[in-house]
Each structure stands twice: as C-alpha cells, then as structure tokens.
C-alpha cells in the first residue's frame, strides 16, 4: 500500500549572508562530497566570500544557487544549482542537494519543478542537463519524473568511496 504525505510548501530564494551556517553544515557533509566533486571541508571564510558575490548576475557568473525552503517559516532544507551556463546554447547543468534528515519528503521534487519553471519562463533556457551516479536510484527517479531523459552513460566516470573503485555516471537531459 502506498501512502502519500502532504508536502509543506516549497520555495526557492536567493542566498543571504545569514545563510552562512546552513551552507557550512551542508557543504561540510562528507556524505555528499562525492557528488559535489570535492574532497575537503569548506571554511566559513570561503563561504562568506562566496556569499558576498552570490548576487552576481547569472549571465556574468554563469551559475546560480538558490536555497530550497519549506513551510511558512521558509526553513532552509537544501539548495538547487544551475551551473556551466552557456548563453549561446541556452543550456545549464542542474544539481540539487537536500539535507540528509530532510530527504524522502518530496522537497527535491517540488524544488526541481519550480526550478524548471524558472529556467523555462524567466531565464528562457532551452535545456538543462545533469550527471547522476548510476547507483543513485533516488536521484535518477527524481530527474526522470521531472522530465529528464537518459542520453548516455559515462563508464568509470566517478571515483568510488574505496581505493581503486570507479563508478558509472548517467547523463540526463531535459528539453524545456
């Protein structure tokens, strides 16, 4: 039997200086380092500098990070990112991270739906793409439900958690 839970309203908002501690805890979770292409903690100083420039124009910075917030109090639970923006071809990569304690509540699905609308209607992008570890079933399902289609597999593209281990990555694309 399947049970459906009502999801509190999800909103996306720009980063603020007050988001420092939230970003610090999110960026320093070793469990997500493999999918965010990092191997080291991020300092508060580095994040302060990042936040100082977070308001830069999307067309200039070619990237955008938004906070995923829930409920009427707009409590942050994650981030969505547009990156590798190519103005000529009107495409960008997309990534989403939700705090481990907040996963499996529909927040990522709702945030991705809002991001797709924003990318299509406001930014007027033609397409979004993403790379997902082949074993990350939850993310693959999330993007598939959102309208992304598998366009290929990169063999041994991601370094695994143990020495000498390499994992395949699935490339997905969504035409807006």
Q: Does residue 78 form part of some domain?
A: yes
Q: Which domain holds residue 29?
A: 10-124
Q: Does residue 77 form part of some domain?
A: yes
Q: Does residue 137 form part of some domain?
A: no
The total of structural domains in the chain comes to 1
Q: If we measure between CA atoms, which residue out of 67, 62, 63 comes closest to residue 17?
A: 67
Report whether pLDDT(100) > 60: yes
Structure confidence at residue 5 as a pLDDT band (50, 70, 90):
very low
Mean pLDDT (the chain, rounded): 90
Per-residue model confidence as pLDDT tens digits over 56-91: 889 888 999 999 999 888 999 999 999 999 999 999
Question: pTM for the complete prediction?
Answer: 0.88
Q: Does residue 130 form part of some domain?
A: no
Q: Does residue 110 form part of some domain?
A: yes
Q: What is the CATH number of the domain that holds 52?
A: 3.40.630.30
């Amino acid at each position: 039997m399947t049970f459906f839970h009502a999801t509190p309203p999800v909103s996306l908002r720009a980063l603020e200086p007050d988001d420092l501690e939230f970003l610090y805890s999110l960026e320093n979770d070793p469990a997500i380092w493999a999918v965010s292409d990092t191997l080291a903690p991020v300092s508060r100083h580095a994040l302060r500098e990042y936040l100082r420039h977070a308001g830069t124009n999307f067309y200039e910075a070619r990237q955008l990070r938004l906070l995923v917030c829930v409920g009427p109090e707009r409590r942050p639970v994650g981030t969505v990112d547009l990156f590798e923006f190519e103005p000529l071809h009107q495409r960008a990569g997309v990534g989403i991270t939700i705090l481990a304690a907040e996963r499996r509540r529909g927040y990522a699905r709702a945030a991705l739906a809002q991001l797709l609308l924003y990318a299509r209607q406001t930014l007027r992008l033609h397409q979004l793409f993403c790379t997902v570890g082949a074993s990350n079933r939850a993310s693959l399902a999330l993007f598939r439900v959102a309208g992304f289609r598998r366009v290929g597999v990169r063999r041994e593209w991601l370094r695994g958690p143990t020495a000498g281990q390499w994992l395949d990555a699935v490339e997905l694309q969504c035409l807006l």
